[in-house]
Each structure stands twice: as structure tokens, then as C-alpha cells.
Amino acid sequence: MCEPGVQGMYPLPLEASMVNLTLRFVNCCRAADLRVSTAEVLDVVRQLAIVDPFDEFQFYTVLRTNFAKSHRDQDRFDRLYNLFFHEMQNDLTGAEVTPESQGFDEVVARLAEEMEADGDAMRQAILDFMAGKPLDYLDLINKLHTQEEQASTGLKSNMTQLSSRLEVMLKINQMKEKVLQFLGGNHAVVDDSVRASIEEEFTRRLESAYDILTKEPKTKNSGLKTVAHNEEHYDEIGQVPFSSLSDDEIEEVRDVIRQLVKKLEEIATLRYSVAKKGEIDVKKTLRRAGKYLGIPIEIIRKDKPLRKGKIVVLCDVSGSVWSTARFMLNILYALQECFSKVKSFIFVSELAEVTDHFIEKEVNDAIEAIMKDAPINYYAQTDYGMAFQTFKNDHLQDLDKKTTLIIIGDARSNYQNPQDHILRQLRDKCRRIIWLNPEQEKQWTEGDSEMYTYKAHCHEVRACGNLNQLVDFIQELVL
């Protein structure tokens, strides 16, 4: 972008140039999965008409204010803005014609002629990216990052996405070789005096394309709630990890849970019975008090009762995770009167709904039954990405803005594709996502754990591997 007050030569009137540039940038944002509505584009055009679009700070501020609608969008917007307006050198003033720019354009034109009959959309997208038009390449990379793995009953791998990345990487290397061929030897199409600077510019743009391919954008999640400490509700049994409980300790934990459920039901029942009578409507009460010299003699109450939330639970039932999940399900279904609806799914790699088990059987019997009767392979390798993909394809309608999605699992996916973009889509559909991990936080960066990948899309994450941690969470959820 140019300095404030700089005047240039415009092939189109200023207003048309500004609109065209903005629309090109909007298309790149949408290709990179940054959602921009038509109304927001119209707002930007109107606002740019009353500021100086040649002052980059004003121009950038108008675009960022309208297009980056949350903290989660701001980093992505900044990357796209820097790519489009700085690395690709798109601006409103027009570029100065130099021997270097002429040579650069000549090489791009020769490459385009050679590839004209090729019909390779991927190579064409890379060439367009080098020419300063990143739209098709950004769309290609976004589709690659969100590519779903194919379900397989045999040996599982995450090669679907990896092979696609490798193909793009090879195309970039081939393009680099072609560029060097046109710049050097007997086939050189530019003068020796500008060859070095042109080669440097091509290298910079190809490295930028490579970085976009290999460095997946990390979502900023400044609103994430983490719980590092918990109250010691129970001295001894409360600190024992669920995975280490003996048979006698399991019965003791169940007794504690029954007492806790009874207590929470009484508190919740009282709260909702008071709510049905109506909370005090402060505004109407103060307005009515005007008839009595400001004294609130008549108390006006609201008719609307407190709203009960919906719960959807995804439980990893592999290994030590199940020792936590069974107690969590026990409490949730014992307290289901506190929620408008509770739906449960279990998975290892395949996913199955088990809500009916809790409707037809007593809670503890249902928990035992789902470990035997659910239509999943309990001995498969854990694959969170495939489980999320199945849930999105078959059960996305179960989520709405009244739903809390609770995921119980250690996020260990055996180095399979985590498909965290699906979790981002689930976040957009529901009220909040809470992840309960039976492992302690210091283990979340070890081995095949994808916890730090997934937590970027959660509203709350917490360790939940013993009774004290579970009681803390349930009290916050219900009360």
C-alpha cells in the first residue's frame, strides 16, 4: 500500500478500482474459509468512500473491523491481508514498470503458454499464485486442509490428506525447476542484469506457497476456559484416578455420586420452582414504583422460567478413558431432569448412539450394556477424526444454540488425521464445547495426543480423571 496522499495513475475511476480490489480480497478471504457476507462488503465500500483508502492504516482498519468479526478471525484476517496486499503487492496505485517487473511478467507469460495445453488445474493455481492472484491456490489449500478421510475397515491411515499435500509439494518443486530453466542457460528469456532479482522474487513467492501448504493456521482462542485446580471435596477417594479404582472403591464412588445427585436435584428443583413463580422484573417494578413516590410497593415478576439446556455427549470408550466416561454418563442421566434433553454417543473409531439404552434400562445397567451391545468395534484403533466426521455427517442436526457438547476422551488418535476443522464446524453449530480429559494437563503434549490441536476449538477444557475433578465440573454444569 502507498503512503497517505500519494497519487497514481488509475486505469479505472477511483471508486471502481477500490471496489474491484476489495472484491478480489473478499474472494480470497472466502476461499480461505474466512466468512464474509455481502452486507459486510457493502459496509466496507461505503466506509472506504469516507476515509482515505491510500492511507494503509485507515484502509486496513476498515477491512479488519468488518471482516474479522471475532478474536478467532483476527489472526487469519491478518495473514490474508499481508499475503494479498504485501506479498502479492496488490494495491490501488498501480505498479511502476521496471526491467525486473517486465522480466518477471515475461517468465510468467512463457510458463502460461507452456502450460496452456496441460489442463493441470493444480499447476495453474500455483502459477496464478506466483503472478499475484492467490484465489485458486487458497481455495485448493482450504479444500486440502478440510479433506475428509475415507472410512476403511482394513488397515487405517491418514494418507488421503498427506498424499494430496505431497502432490502439491511436487508441483511447487516442478514449477521452481521451470522458472530456473527460463532464467538460465540457453533458454534464458531475461537479461543477466535483472536475473538475480527476478529469481529472488519467484523464490520468495514459491516459499510463501510452500508455507501456506505446510503450516496450517492455528486458531486464536482467547476465550478458552481452562481449569487447573479443583476443590478437595473428598480427601482420599476423591484423589484416586478413576483408572486405578479397585472394585470396592468403585462402589464407594457410586455411593458418593448417588448422594451428590440427590443433593443437586434438590437444589435444581428448588431453583426451577422459584423460577416458575417468576423472577423479579426490575425494570417494570421500578417503572410501577413511580406511582408510589419511587417506593416499590408492587413487585412485578417475569413469566419466563429459567431455560434448561440440551446436552450431547461424545464418549471415547477405549482403555482408561472409559473409566471416566461411565461415571460421567451415570451423573448426567441421573440428573437428566435438570436438562431438556440428553443424548449420548460412544466411539472408538466408529460412532454409535446409545441414548436408547438409558431410556430402556437403569443407569448402571445401561452403562454395562453399551460396552457389549453397541454396533462398534471396541478393539479398533482410536480415531477421533473419523468419529467427528461420522457425527457431522449423521447427527449434526442434534446441535443447536441451546446445546452443550461434552467430549470425554484423552484426544489420543494414534497419529491419525485429527480433522480438527470438523470440531470448528461443530463449535459454530452449538452453544459451547466442553472437553473432559482423564489425563492430567502435563500429559497433553506427549506422544500421539492431539489435545492442543482440539482445544483451539473448545470453550472449556479441563482434566477430569478423579472424583474431585468430576464433582467440580458437574456442580458448575448443573448449578
**What domains are defined for the chain?**
14-87 (no CATH), 99-214 (no CATH), 225-263+308-478 (3.40.50)
Whose cell is 494479498? That residue is 84
Read off the pLDDT band of 429 (50, 70, 90): very high
**What pLDDT shows up at residue 158?**
57
> Which range is least confidently modeled, 234-238, 270-274, 365-369?
270-274
In this prediction, residue 185 has a pLDDT band, given cuts at 50, 70 and 90, of: low
Helix axis angle for 247-277 and 467-478, nearest 10°, is 10
Q: Please say if the pLDDT value at position 101 is more than 50.
A: yes
Whether residue 120 has pLDDT greater than 90: no
pLDDT average, residue stretch 211-235:
75
pLDDT of residue 203: 86
Average of pLDDT values for 424-445?
90
pLDDT of 2 above 60: no
R_g over Cα of the chain = 29
Cα distance between residue 32 and residue 205, in whole Å: 18
Confidence of residue 10 (pLDDT cuts 50, 70, 90): very low
Range of weakest confidence among 67-81, 155-169, 462-476: 155-169
Distance of CA 400 to the CA centre of its chain: 16
Torsion of CA 77, 405, 139, 149, to 10 degrees: 150
49: cell is 468512500
* pLDDT for the residue numbered 3: 40
pTM of this structure: 0.75
Q: How far is CA 245 from the centre of its chain?
A: 35
Once rounded to an integer, what is the mean pLDDT over residues 206-220?
81
At residue 209, the pLDDT reads: 87
Band of residue 40 on the pLDDT scale cut at 50, 70, 90: very high
Nearest CA-CA partner of 438 in 319, 354, 335, 311: 319
pLDDT at 7: 40
The average pLDDT across 23-47 equals 90
Res. 470 pLDDT band, cuts 50 70 90? confident
Q: Which helix (H) or strand (E) holds 80?
A: helix 71-82
Average pLDDT, the chain: 81
Residues linked to residue 433 through DSSP beta bridges, in sequence order: 405
Closest CA to 135 of 34, 24, 47: 24
pLDDT for 151? 56
pLDDT value at residue 312: 92
pLDDT tens digits, one per residue of 448-463: 899 988 998 999 999 8
* Euclidean distance between CA atoms 179 and 262, whole angstroms: 73
Q: Which residue has the higher pLDDT, 332 or 39?
A: 39
Judged by average pLDDT, the poorest of 214-228, 361-375, 432-446 is: 214-228
Per-residue pLDDT at 6 = 38
Cell 528469456 sits at which residue? 189
CA proximity to 331, closest of 318, 350, 315, 307: 315
How many distinct helices (H) and strands (E) make up the chain?
Answer: 18, 7
- Partners of 412 in beta bridges: 449
Instruction: Provide the pLDDT for residue 149.
Output: 64
Average pLDDT of span 409-425: 89
pLDDT of residue 12: 44
Q: What is the mean pLDDT of residues 133-147?
A: 84
pLDDT of residue 228: 67
| pLDDT of 171 over the 80 cut | yes
Q: Is the pLDDT at 65 greater than 90, yes or no? A: yes
How much is the pLDDT for 320?
63
